[in-house]
Amino acid sequence: MHKTKKDQRLGLVLLLGSFSALGPLTIDMYLPSFPQIAADFGTQASLVQLSLTACLIGLGLGQIIMGPLSDVHGRRKPVIFSLLLYLIASFVCAISPNIACFIAARFVQGFAASAGIVISRAVVRDMYSGPALTRFFSLLMLVNNLFPLIAPLAGSGVISFTTWIGVFIVLSIVGLVLAILATFNLKETLPAEKRISGNFGELLTGIKTLLKDRTFTGYALAQGIMVGGVFAYVSGTPFIYQNIYGASPQLFAVLFASNGISLIIGSQVVGRLNHKISERRFLVVGLLLSVLSSLTALTVIVMHGPLFALVIPLFFFVASIGMTSTASFSLAMESQSRMAGSASAFLGLLPFVIGACTSPLVGIAGEHTAVPMGLIILASSVLALLAYFGLVRKPRKTGFQKTAVSD
């Protein structure tokens, strides 16, 4: 019986991880194609980066809509609908006749992918709390973080045999497969009696309630600013590694994937050791690590250091994202149950809104300088640290109580 329960949990992790991985897969898989897309459409790098911005806006707005909708209609139906929409949007990206159509399709693709991210987290909160919530979420992050490893490598592999169009054909197939899996394997975790009404005013009231929670807002901002800042790295490195340092698309994919390993390390350290070290302490360590590593990266950039000298601090910067994301999500969601979908949506919205602002700023000084990227990741690290210390209240002397759930 115990083995069966473990097998069921593993199946759930893989299923939810696949849904939430649509975000990084949609973002990262086409990154090696940036120079090729710019050439094919005869456009500037900044407009190709704008397609990433459009996707991030879609991911952010989609979460703030799909999260509350899942609190009203349950988790299952919105996921299935969004996956079918993702399939269509991915195919439209592949057949886009110009950059404007491509950017619009990327927005819809991001919007559709958002449901997998926000609802998978809400499902976890429906089923777990306390240390079990942190452990399960760290497992979910493990699956999720494998895709930043796989996606650029897969993308560079696809464009070595065909063009960037093949990348979006593959994403269409992924959407179809996940829609089938959701239809036959995803069970409803939010009973009708626990759902909130569909009244729009009540949804707005719920969001206002979250924003008035100073501690929740502090955790959300710390996470949102950090992850939003990392999109400057995501948007900038394809041009920095390939145009400034002369790396091939394949070498770029390997270097980018190596930082996926650091994401996994950061999140798994929190999940494995949260019974010994509190999530709050992990969050502080992660925020301090981000400041130190981003400052080092900016120094290397200003001094025109070699590629390996830049890759190393960026590795630790991304590792800090894994630590802070896992710890802050668990801490923020711990107090939310009835509005888990709305809370998850708000946590998911901030990174993509901030990322949508930072991504195009990376190319503001042209394709042959990395200074804007260095400044943005340092600024995001410092602001996230200030948000945590400025808004999160000190724990009471009675301690942060957690309700353990058997796993």
pLDDT at 33: 84
Alpha carbon of residue 294 to chain centroid: 19
What is the average pLDDT score of the chain? Answer: 81
Euclidean distance between CA atoms 77 and 93, whole angstroms: 25
Residue 300 pLDDT grade (very low, low, confident, very high; cuts 50, 70, 90): very high
* 106 within some domain: yes
* 403 within some domain: no
pLDDT at 349: 75
pLDDT at 98: 93
What is the rounded average pLDDT of the residues 381-395? 83
Alpha carbon of residue 149 to chain centroid: 13
| Selected residue with higher pLDDT from 371 and 336 | 371
* 397 within some domain: no
What is the rounded average pLDDT of the residues 187-209? 70
Yes or no: say if 108 and 117 are a contact pair by the CB < 8 Å rule.
no
Residue 7 pLDDT grade (very low, low, confident, very high; cuts 50, 70, 90): low
Given a cut of 50, whether residue 297 has pLDDT beyond it is yes
**pTM of the complete model beyond 0.85:** no
pLDDT at 317: 92
CATH number for the domain spanning 140: value is 1.20.1250.20
Range among 186-200, 244-258, 346-360, 385-399 rated most confident: 244-258
Given a cut of 80, whether residue 222 has pLDDT beyond it is yes
* 342 within some domain: yes
* 2 within some domain: no
CA-CA-CA-CA torsion sign (330, 221, 202, 357): negative
pLDDT at 205: 67
Residue 104's domain spans which residues?
9-391
115 token code pair: 């449901």
Enter the DSSP assignment of 247. -
Cβ neighbours of residue 101 closer than 8 Å, sequence gap 6 or more: 92
* 202 within some domain: yes
Of residues 343, 315, 331, 399, the one with CA closest to residue 137: 331
Given a cut of 60, whether residue 404 has pLDDT beyond it is no
The number of distinct structural domains making up the chain is: 1
What is the rounded average pLDDT of the residues 141-146? 70
* 401 within some domain: no
What is the rounded average pLDDT of the residues 185-196? 78
* 238 within some domain: yes
Given a cut of 80, whether residue 328 has pLDDT beyond it is yes
pLDDT at 291: 95
